[in-house]
Structure 1
């Protein structure tokens, strides 16, 4: 079935199947909930297909249970369609945070500073691209951006959850010498684990609307056991196969050969339950 999904040219994903034990971004396993450590007597004993991270780790802790699909009760077609939908959502989310951090701008041209204010202590800490920041529900993120170029720049802020959800946080056009300063993001109790804030800056063309990447948003995958690489910034959307004629989206790539400058910044976050 997986071979058929991979070979299907109508799906909006690009994946490669490797042998068991080989390095992989995603691991699939079939077992039931009662097999997991910490399972209670009421744990479901029906087999399910689980979508595990690279480490193969599976947990029943709140907010950390990996997505799964109950195998029983499906026809061959509905099971294939559901697996395809899950793989497509996972591909969309992982494609975003696996894009190599890169920039056509110098550090002096586009500046972005993220700080987090802790709900409990009120302490403010910086969020960097090189370190893992720990966050708990209620913590707030302030975003401070400045455009020091001579052209307009569109800024999009995207949040990728550990459940493969994609949330569009902010879309803003920065005029030359303009700045942006707002508390734009609050962590919730929805998921816990390794997550990402992705900042996308693209040079704006005159007489165009602000680039809005909100169409990338998608809900996170859930466990069915419980009671749904681009080479440059300008090719971001096209190379991920997200284009859909039913959605009104401004194309990143201009019709001319000149590609607008851009920048992608990745800020890793690890969300944990309140202590």
Structure 2
């Protein structure tokens, strides 16, 4: 029996959404709108939202007049996202490491809010970049938003307790062998639960190298959701903007 990868079980759990329910949706929507103002994608442009969750960002892209396809590894996420589907907004279950339909051709591809770095090997990271590059039109744009490892490690909160939805979550974070780990322990209805997140601390230069090998040229690197310039020490995010040559 094949052991499931951590992200395929945790992201499909209802507790994942309870823990992260207080993420700033207003900030996220404002970021995507600012990004579109910068990119100036034409109305009806074909775009792809990679690792879309329940579709909250895909909906914003759709509201901006773009034609959106969005996928996620979690069947339950996609099932809930389907409620928002229209002729120009569709959702499907997919693993970014697997090839997409060759009939897909996108003007832009988005990967928002650290939805990368979950795999076991650099080869899988490279494969994901190639899969996405293969369905991006020439001169198409790929935007990937990831935390800045330097900033995250310098500001790491090693332990904290949070109450979400009446559940007391105990969280621990640590760095080990190039990955950032987060353990999540809680009790609900008399049952104890334990989940663990693991995200690779992928450097700026490593991302640029993956992209270059997949035929993508870096045209901008932003450091926060207000689209400020990237600073290695002080920026919380790395928001890459690549163009396919």
The TM-score range, normalised by the shorter chain, is under 0.3
After TM superposition, the score normalised by the length of structure 1 is 0.24
After TM superposition, the score normalised by the length of structure 2 is 0.26
**Which structure: greater helix fraction?**
2
Answer 1 or 2: higher relative contact order, Cα 8 Å, separation at least 6.
1
**Which structure: greater strand fraction?**
2
